[in-house]
Structure formats: C-alpha cells, structure tokens
Chain A
C-alpha cells in the first residue's frame, strides 16, 4: 500500500545550517493499517507525511503507493487516493467558495474539471446526505461560504470531502490541535469512525498521548529523522500513558 525505502530529506536553512528531517526511513504499511505517529517537535513526523503526499520530494530513496513508484510524482497527481487533514483547519477548504463548491472539487479530485455546470440537484442531495451525518445542521446551508464556518466545522467537512469517493489513504497532521476540546473530540471520533468503516490506511500525527491509547492499531515513534520505536497488536493494547511518557524521557 504505502512503502518508503530509505527515504532521506535534509533542509538547508537560508542562514546556513542543515536539518535532517528524514534519515534513511523505511516503512511498509498495508491497506487498513491504522498508525499513530508520535515524537518530539522537529523529529520528522510532518516531513514523513509530506513525502507521502508529495508536497515534499525526498533527496533520495523511494516512495511507493499502491505498487507505483511515485517518488517524483507531483502532489496534485497523487491526491486522488489521498485524503489530508492539516493542523490548520483553514488549509483544507477554500474559504471564498461555498460548502457545495468545495465538495464539488473534492468529488472531481481524480477527474478532469471541464466547462460544465456540475452542481445539479442530484449532487446537492448527495452532499446534503453526507453532511447530515455531522448533525450540525449544515445540510440546509450548502450555499454558505466556508469562511462563515468554525474551525471545527471546517475540519469535519475537510474530512468528509477527502473521503467522499475513492480514497484509500488518510494523512492527518495534528488535525485537532487547533480546535476547542469539544470540536477536537468530534473531529477525532469522526476520523476514527471513517477510518474503521472504510478500512483506510491511516497515519495520524499527534502530541496527545491519550490519542495513542484511544485510536489506531500501531504506535510509531520518531526521533531525529528516524523511526526508533513502535508497538502494535497486544503491545499497543497494553500501552499506558506512563509507558508512553517514558518513551520521551531523555536517553
């Protein structure tokens, strides 16, 4: 499904100095693998997600998606099977466009965007049906611009948009860290529900140790651009916050 082979990425600062974001990272994720990615700031978690999504091209190594080598494929050409949730809830939607128009683009992710009016009654009903599961009453306000919604609502909609059609992978970079506790809970539970229901291959970056216990089937820890520890199966199930905290203790 997703395979990284010895992927390296170094950033060179404009004032000199270099940061090794990914150092010979190899990882193999099968369809339906549900992973939680943790690690201190700057350990390479976000870079790992960006390399998979294509917003960062690695210096060396290979990125394989669905048995296709996509190492050099630009972001917009691999987005059709990838859903992404950013830390900033404003990044996943276009604020000046209506809810309906945002969903239209999501529906056309892997298709050409032609000169035809694609928003018809059937499409409107389909989107309304999908949004009704949020129980936010947004299904009756489809023509509202995205900018009128709260961060939590926008993040929840981004999630639905990303997973509305063919989608096999979801990459989430601290999707709830900018949200209030109630919205955070709602977005995380919705993500969890969709991942289980659709058997998506998931990578969730988080700093909340409780998230590691509640969600996912495997916990992966990174440090200085390397994967240094992981726990899956029964080892993951028996984790507790104290154990996780000890992972972060200075070695």
Chain B
C-alpha cells in the first residue's frame, strides 16, 4: 500500500482529534449525545473559508471558527437548560438551524479556499503530507495540553462533577445549568476546530461536510476507550490521549475499508457499521468480565 495513503489517514485522524475530544466532553462528561456537532463542524469550516477568503491568517481563521462553534454550543446549552428542552432535541434544533445559517454565511453551498498557506503547513517539510502531519501533531498536542490543564483546574473539576453527580455538584455550590452551557460551548469549539482544520486540509468548505460527522466523534471515543493499554486508563491525561489515538485508528479503519474498494457512496453506512461493531464488541467484552 502506498505510504502517502496512510499518512493522509493519519493527518485526518489528528485533524478529527478535536471532534473526538469535543464528543468526549459532551457524551462522557455530561452524558449528553450532542447532535449540535453536525452543525458546528460545518460552521467551523464555513467561518474558516470565509475568513481565509477575506485574507485572514489561517490560525486566526481557526480561532474564529472555534468561537463560532462555542456560540453554537452555548445556544444548544441555553435551549436545554433555560427552556428545559430535552438535550437531544436542543441539539437537533440548533443543528437544523445551523444548516440555513451556514448557507447564508457562505452564500452558496461550497466555498473553495486556497490552502497553499494553512494551519497544516505551519511547519515546513520536504513534502506537503509530512508538513501537514507535523503541523497537525503540534496543533492537536497544544489542544490536548490546554484541555488537560483546563480539566484539572478548579473550574474543570467543577465541570466534571456536574455531569458525574449533579446532586454532589449542587451541594458543592456549583451552578449546574451554567456549567452545562459552558461545557457544551467548549465541546462545540473543539468540534469546530476540527471543521476548520479539515477545511484547510481539503481546500474547501461544503454545506454537507458535517452530515453524520457526530458518528466519527463517537467512534473515536469508543475506539479510544477500547484500547487495551493500561497507561490510557490512568487519569484524565490518559483518557484524552486515548481519544486522539482512537480518532486516528478510526480513520485508518475507514481508509483501509476504502482501499479494499468499497464504494465511497457507502462510506456513511460503513462508518455506522464500524461504530455499531465497536459498541457490540464492548458489550460482549463486558459480559465476559462480569
């Protein structure tokens, strides 16, 4: 197999790391299957494409994409906590609304960006794939370090307690609802960051790029949790690292399947089946342990 093929899967896996980490936050820390993801991922791409077309530096475009994603998450969080709409439904509402907003922002369904200067060639190398890989490692590495610091800070502990034990959180003077809003904001900022990186990598933003993307995040989290490496069970640092590794392995699985000649039109069916397979395997393993 051509090494460039796997290098490309590796870059994609790293770029989708933010998506995995975002889903980890909403799904594992808050127990919310947050569908806003599909919309905020596209939003991240759209903001990046518009920004770069307007001549912003690539990194600035990515930062703005994160801010836009955070805003989308905050909307979902507010609808869920203030209007007391079911978390799943609030996500669906915001995701649906974002489709129109993304179209409105771009003015058309597809916007190309020149990617000769992008966050994925911040670091120079002999060929563009290696440069993209190194840049992605640095970017995701920085996100990991920042997220790790955040989750271990006093605020982060309060955030984790909120999803884990609301009764304890309230007894500790934590405003549970505000924490949920903040958590969904951060989660969707991470998702939008992935959207921004992928847009810069593939050179365009597309209105449909986010459809079903939430499954990729779920897959990353679940593959990460299934990895039989004891180090990855140790503390929050291990878990975050596992999610990024899970994201990479998940992309490898998809790339391998495509290389076996599966019609790209069946890509999403295959993705869904892979995730279903991982869940089922996890169930079987748990049963054996019990």
A215 CB within 8 Å of chain B: no
**A113 to B161 CA separation, bound complex (whole angstroms):** 12
A122 CB within 8 Å of chain B: no
Excluding A108-B158, A109-B171, 14 further A-B contacts by CB distance (< 8 Å) are A76-B175, A90-B165, A91-B168, A92-B171, A93-B165, A94-B164, A102-B161, A105-B158, A105-B161, A115-B150, A116-B154, A117-B149, A117-B153, A162-B171
A97 B173 Cβ-Cβ under 8 A: no
A26 to chain B, nearest CB (A): 26
Looking at the complex, which one of B152, B168, B235 makes contact with A92 (CB distance below 8 Å)? B168
A-B contact pairs, 24 of them (CB 8 A): A76-B169, A76-B174, A76-B176, A79-B173, A82-B171, A92-B168, A92-B171, A93-B165, A95-B165, A97-B161, A105-B161, A105-B172, A108-B154, A108-B158, A108-B172, A108-B173, A113-B155, A113-B157, A113-B158, A114-B153, A115-B150, A115-B154, A117-B153, A117-B154
**Which residue on chain B has the smallest CB distance to residue A119?**
B152
B48 to chain A, nearest CB (A): 26
Contacts of B171 in A (CB 8 A): 75, 79, 82, 84, 92, 109, 162
**A162 to B172 CA separation, bound complex (whole angstroms):** 8
The digit string for B19-57, where 1 denotes a CB below 8 A from any CB of A, is 000000000000000000000000000000000000000
**A64 to B175 CA separation, bound complex (whole angstroms):** 22
A113 B168 Cβ-Cβ under 8 A: no
Known A-B contacts A95-B164, A117-B149; the reply to A105 vs B170 at CB < 8 A is: no
Known A-B contacts A79-B173, A105-B172; the reply to A114 vs B160 at CB < 8 A is: no
B173 A93 Cβ-Cβ under 8 A: no
Contacts of A82 in B (CB 8 A): 171
A79 B172 Cβ-Cβ under 8 A: yes
Contacts of A104 in B (CB 8 A): 154, 157
**A84 to B173 CA separation, bound complex (whole angstroms):** 12
Contacts of A92 in B (CB 8 A): 167-168, 171
A241 to chain B, nearest CB (A): 33
**A93 to B155 CA separation, bound complex (whole angstroms):** 17
B153 A97 Cβ-Cβ under 8 A: no
**Which residue on chain B has the smallest CB distance to residue A106?**
B172
**Which residue on chain A has the smallest CB distance to residue B28?**
A96
A109 B173 Cβ-Cβ under 8 A: yes
Identify the interface centre among B155, B160, B168: most chain A CB within 10 Å of its CB. Answer: B168
Contacts of A79 in B (CB 8 A): 170-173
**Which residue on chain A has the smallest CB distance to residue B179?**
A113
A55 CB within 8 Å of chain B: yes
**A110 to B171 CA separation, bound complex (whole angstroms):** 10
Looking at the complex, which one of A84, A86, A97, A117 makes contact with B164 (CB distance below 8 Å)? A97
Contacts of B169 in A (CB 8 A): 76, 94, 105
